[in-house]
Chain A
Amino acid sequence: MHTGAKRFLLAAIFVAAVVSFFSAQFNRYYLGIAIDVGINVILAVSLNLINGHTGQFSLGHAGFMAVGGYTAASITLALSQKFPAAATPVLFVGALLAGGLTAALAGLAVGVPTLRLRGDYLAIVTLGFGEIIRVIFENMDCVGAASGLKGIPNYTNFFWAWSLAAVTVFVVTCLVNSTYGRGFIAVHDDEVAASAMGINPTKYKVTAFVVGAFFAGIAGGLYAHHKQFLSPTGFDFMKSIDIVVMVILGGMGRTTGVIIAAILLTLLPEFLRGFAEYRMIIYALLIIVLMIARPQGLFSFGKK
């Protein structure tokens, strides 16, 4: 089981590389959607670590995505001319990492003050942080403020989106499926009992936030170099809700379910293109019906 995970990761990266190599053969539009799927998988799985596994209900994940996206885009915009074309992957990876790390710092800034808060309070404070981040970017002239950041180079392709998605899944799954990782679930199930068993709830909660935020930042960077345009309104409360719905639909804490949910919810708007007006309404009804009928999520069968 343990070595299996590594082999799976390498296989996934290999497949992504192959598909990407032949990407010129595929329809531009569908390829774009496939990249969107990859990005959403990263977002959902990273949020799942915070919300699902550790039980910290965070409603501000879009804020971390914004931090990562803006950081990565700023770096590539500043340096893309200075790098030879062959070295672009290096620049891109560097920018993505920088985005992830700054987002991780933001995760630290959010995770630490919220430690003592439970349930609803935590939700509203994380929402507040997300909004504050958005307002700050709306006022930062160096990244275009409210009119947004334009002309970001198109570095994201199928390979990057999917291999990084595979890496995210690998990291989160390996993290949680270890004796160390049981600590996250213990904190979720019963914090008092977890402390009594020597688990430091603070460390686990903060780790969940930091790791979750890091990957959200990476997703943000990928997003920036895919859409080639960033605007603060795109990272508002609604975007955080979008990601939360994926986690809920997938059954909080169930990685496979969350991945499937992310894929489905990215493709759903495409199927509903004819009903563009009704898309959000169906989406909302889906949430309501799901919570009443099957709160454990659509895709939760068996073990985590």
Chain B
Amino acid sequence: MSAPLLNLEKVTIRFGGLTAVSELDLQIGANELVGIIGPNGAGKTTAFNLITGVYQPTAGKISFGEKFTAKLQPHQLARLGIARTFQNIRLFASMTAFDNVRTAARLHCPRGVRNALWRGRAFRDGEKEIADEVMTLLDIFQLGKFRDAPAKGLSYGDQRRLEIVRALATKPKLLLLDEPAAGMNASEKTELMRLIQFIKDKFRISVLLVEHDMQVVMGICERIAVLDYGVKIAEGTPAEVRANTKVIAAYLGEEKPK
């Protein structure tokens, strides 16, 4: 197997007396679709926060590409190519949909303060280029018509999609989706599954997904890791995980001996 894109080695984090994640080993290669599942409180979102630099691990190493991510801050990791969405939608409430995505597109825009002030040709061309990129992205996800709408006025499903589009604007190599199916009905979930598959194929990136919804996870993930109380208790293809007794015990409890 070629060098993994994301590599977690024995990653542990303790908050005071509580060990939220314990000795987690996880590897994600290029263009893979991986899911993390587990009961509530298993440490899934904590794992996300570790990967994106919101928390620093108490022990263990995380590397992205060839670089160790220790001490790197979230914005630096974004620059390296990790993007994410949030469990509770965190759009920029006072901006339009267009601006939300434009802000993220800033990442790869080399022009900064001076150009903003000078307003010369370079600035105008640069702004046009970014505007075009943003519109293209919005159109791909059928959000083009909302470009000037305030982000918080969109429907819940559209807001979730916008958050994903915003993350994609940073041109990531790895996209982390934190419970993207939360609050969706059956048809929306099917649409979401199609969308995630589409993103992985069209943009040729890896996607790491934290989800509760089994239909979504089992439906699209190539590989699934199962966490329980911060420990990885199983990993494998959807079929393997579904049949794993430890996983069943974690979710449903053990069968009492007859």
B127 at interface, CB cutoff 8 A: yes
Q: Which of A198, A201, A207 contacts B107 (CB 8 A)?
A: A198
| Bound complex: CA A224 to CA B75 (Å) | 42
Q: In the complex, how many angstroms separate the beta carbon of A138 from the nearest chain B beta carbon?
A: 36
**Across the interface, which residues of B come within 8 angstroms of A5, CB to CB?**
119
Is A179 in contact with B113, judged by CB distance below 8 angstroms? no
Chain B, interface residues (CB within 8 Å), range: 35 or more
**CB atoms of B106 and A179 under 8 A apart:** yes
List the A side residues contacting B86 at CB < 8 Å. Answer: 192-193, 196
B182 CB within 8 Å of chain A:
no
User: In the complex the two chains form, is A207's CB within 8 Å of B75's CB?
Assistant: no
Q: A2-B119, A200-B75 are in contact. Are A180 and B93 (CB under 8 A)?
A: no
Chain A residue at smallest Cβ distance from B111? A180
Q: Does A123 reach chain B (CB closer than 8 Å)?
A: no
Separation of A250 and B116 alpha carbons in the complex (Å): 24
Number of A-B contacts (CB under 8 A): 111
A contacts with B: majority SS: helix
Whole-angstrom CA separation of A6 from B104 in the bound complex: 27
B78 & A195 in contact (Cβ 8 Å cutoff): yes
Give every chain A residue within 8 A of B170 (Cβ-Cβ): 197-198
For window 92-128 of B, CB contacts with A under 8 Å fall at 92-95, 99, 102-107, 109, 111-113, 115-117, 119, 123-124, 126-127
- Please classify how large the interface on chain A is, using the bins under 10, 10 to 19, 20 to 34, 35 or more: 20 to 34
CA distance A145 to B63 in the complex (A): 57
Interface centre among A5, A174, A196, by most chain B C-beta atoms within 10 angstroms, is A196
- Cβ A185 vs Cβ B116 within 8 A: no
A186 touches B92 (CB 8 A): yes
CB-defined A-B contacts under 8 Å, sample of 6:
A179-B126, A186-B103, A190-B91, A196-B78, A196-B84, A198-B79
